[in-house]
Amino acid sequence: MVNWSLINSDGRKASSAKIRKSIVSFMTRHHPCSVIDSIEKKYNAYKINLMNGLCLIFDADGRYIKTN
């Protein structure tokens, strides 16, 4: 699991609570019954793998980018 306490984003500090909130909000609206298999924090993005095989990509600020 990702350490959500504090996340650096483009040389500035972003609130981890805000990032987590935006990802959870997106998941609740668009994938309400999906189960998260894993979350990977990349340099400038989050990769969330769902049990149904979808992979969601979010930017460093927690904004949705795309589905693989």
pLDDT digits over 18-34, tens only?
667 888 899 889 998 88
Q: What is the dihedral of CA 7, 38, 67, 6, to 10 degrees?
A: -10
**The pLDDT of residue 55:** 95
Residue 63 has pLDDT above 80, yes or no: yes
**Calpha distance 5→65 (Å, rounded):** 22
**The pLDDT of residue 17:** 67
**Looking at residues 27-51, what average pLDDT do you find?**
87
Kindly report whether the global pTM for this prediction surpasses the value 0.75. no
Mean of per-residue pLDDT scores for the chain: 78
**Calpha distance 59→62 (Å, rounded):** 5
